[in-house]
């Protein structure tokens, strides 16, 4: 037994204890705590010494630890799915149908328990049900139903979590969710591996009995549990300094293309400073000497980039017409752009139209009232607005193609 086999359940129980105070106050965090508790129990029962002790208590079912382990894994997966739903859907939509999902989980458990009891699990204690008992029809049905249910849940968790990460700003929360998604991905691969072994058992029983207890399956399961434990505790482990560094680094990179688009037509936005830049506007974030760019220096560059983009917006404002703003918002309402991204996409389209007009040399639009960007009260809010605009570049350019109507008569002779 390796040190890692003990480290995973210890890390999960530590996460359970750290999350316990918050679980009492918040329903969503309570679901996360339930999921972590289930995973901690699963990882603990996966230890051979603990499994032997639990199995020794039972008189009728020799492999009772496996039944407990599978049931708590199912509950943990459902709880984790509910947590992810609250990040993926609006609150009312996320909560819709939760009773039905609880009843479905109970129904699965009601089917699994009799199948397990009817299987020949009393013959000998085993570390792998797939390797020892999957040739029995009732055990094959038990394993197939369990892993199909787990695969469906884990697949939804991976899909929703990846989407959730894409909507989050750079920082420890996004990193945490990405790590959890990677853990769920390893779990999905492990489930597919186990289902393949169950399916191959009738044709190749000897091969399955050899492969099932192999280190490959143990590695995938350990990676799944370890990454989920790391992801849930990431924000507590890294602290505020790492969070600020990740936020600045991710935001700085995400704004690079928007900065370049504006700099192409308004070169004056580039502020004179002592920080080096390469040819396309990227600050040199590589190693300089023996150190990486520090947190404070990176934050300074990030803030400077935001200010330069705001200066570019201001310079292009004379080229923004009220008709273009109305057309952009109308186009987003009739397009496939999601409701939460419509405002940013419309702003990106209007900004692109203004950029093109200036690049073509058209005259500024004569208007007494210029459309303004939504007001922001803090730097963080302004940065988030610009990041949303930057991430909407692809849809914004498509909309700009629809609403941009060049006027040759207003072009300045060059």
Beta-bridge mates of residue 283: 277
Interval 344-391: pLDDT, tens: 888 999 999 999 989 888 888 866 455 555 655 688 888 888 988 998
Helix (H) or strand (E) holding 289: none
Which range, of 29-38, 70-79, 294-303, averages the lowest pLDDT? 294-303
Please compute Rg for the chain using Cα positions: 28
Identify which of 53-67, 86-100, 389-403 has the greatest average pLDDT.
389-403
Q: Dihedral (C-alpha) 251, 257, 261, 263: value to the nearest 10 degrees?
A: 60
Alpha-carbon span 324 to 404, nearest angstrom: 8
CATH number of 3-239: 1.20.1070
What is the per-residue pLDDT for 120? 81
Interval 122-167: pLDDT, tens: 667 777 788 777 788 898 899 999 999 999 999 988 888 888 777 7
Per-residue pLDDT band for 338 (boundaries 50, 70, 90) equals confident
Q: What is the largest CA-CA distance in the chain?
A: 95
Q: How far, rounded to the nearest angstrom, does the alpha carbon of residue 286 sit from its chain's CA centroid?
A: 27
For the chain, where do the domains classified as CATH 1.20.1070 start and end? 3-239
What is the per-residue pLDDT for 145? 92
What mean pLDDT, rounded, does the chain reach? 80
Q: Residue 372's closest CA among 309, 340, 325?
A: 325
Per-residue pLDDT band for 236 (boundaries 50, 70, 90) equals low
pLDDT of residue 284 exceeding 70: no
pLDDT of residue 400 exceeding 60: yes
Question: 339: burial class by Cβ within 10 Å (0-12, 13-18, 19+)?
Answer: exposed
Interval 170-203: pLDDT, tens: 777 788 888 888 988 999 999 999 899 899 888 8
pLDDT of residue 14 exceeding 90: no
Q: What percent of the chain has pLDDT over 70?
A: 83
Quick one: tokens of 63? 């492999």
8-state DSSP, 277? B
Reduced to 3 states (helix: H, G, I; strand: E, B; else coil), residue 288 is strand
Write a three-state SS string for 201-267. Answer: CCCCHHHHHHHCCCHHHHHHHHHHHHHHHHHHHHHHHHHHHHHHHHHHHHHHHHCHHHHHHHHHHCH
What is the per-residue pLDDT for 278? 45
């Amino acid at each position: 037994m390796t040190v890692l086999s003990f480290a995973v359940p210890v890390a999960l129980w530590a996460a359970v204890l750290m999350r316990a105070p918050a679980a009492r106050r918040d329903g969503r965090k309570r679901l996360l705590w339930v999921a972590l508790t289930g995973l901690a129990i699963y990882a603990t029962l996966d230890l051979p010494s603990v499994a032997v002790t639990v199995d020794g208590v039972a008189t009728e079912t020799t492999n009772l630890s496996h039944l407990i382990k599978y049931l708590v894994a199912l509950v943990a997966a459902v709880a984790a799915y509910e947590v992810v739903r609250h990040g993926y859907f609006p609150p009312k939509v996320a909560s819709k149908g939760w009773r039905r999902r609880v009843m479905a989980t109970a129904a699965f458990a009601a089917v699994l328990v009799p199948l397990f009891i009817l299987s020949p699990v009393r013959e000998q204690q085993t570390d792998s049900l797939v390797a020892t008992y999957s040739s029995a029809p009732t055990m094959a049905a038990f394993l197939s139903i369990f892993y199909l249910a787990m695969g469906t849940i884990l697949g939804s968790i991976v899909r929703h979590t990846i989407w959730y990460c894409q909507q989050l700003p750079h920082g420890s929360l996004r990193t945490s969710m990405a790590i959890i998604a990677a853990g769920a991905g390893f779990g999905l691969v492990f489930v597919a591996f186990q289902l393949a072994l169950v399916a191959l058992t009738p044709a190749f029983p000897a091969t399955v009995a050899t492969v099932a207890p192999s280190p490959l399956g143990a590695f995938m399961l350990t990676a799944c549990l370890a990454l989920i434990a790391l992801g849930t505790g990431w924000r507590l482990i890294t602290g505020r300094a790492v969070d600020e560094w990740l936020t600045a680094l991710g935001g700085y990179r995400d704004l690079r293309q928007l900065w370049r688009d504006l700099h192409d037509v308004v070169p004056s936005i580039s502020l004179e400073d002592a920080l080096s830049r390469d040819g396309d506007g990227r600050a040199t974030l590589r190693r300089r000497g023996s150190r990486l760019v520090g947190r404070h220096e990176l934050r300074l560059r990030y803030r400077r980039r935001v200010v330069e983009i705001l200066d570019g917006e201001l310079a292009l404002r004379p080229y923004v017409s009220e008709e273009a703003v109305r057309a952009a918002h109308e186009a987003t309402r009739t397009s496939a752009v999601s409701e939460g991204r419509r405002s940013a996409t419309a702003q990106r389209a209007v900004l692109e139209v203004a950029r093109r007009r200036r690049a073509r040399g058209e005259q500024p639009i004569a208007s007494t009232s210029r459309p303004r960007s939504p007001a922001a009260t803090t730097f963080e809010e302004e940065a988030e607005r610009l990041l949303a605009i930057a991430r909407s570049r692809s849809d914004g350019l498509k909309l700009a193609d629809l609403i941009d109507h060049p006027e040759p008569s207003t072009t300045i002779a060059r």
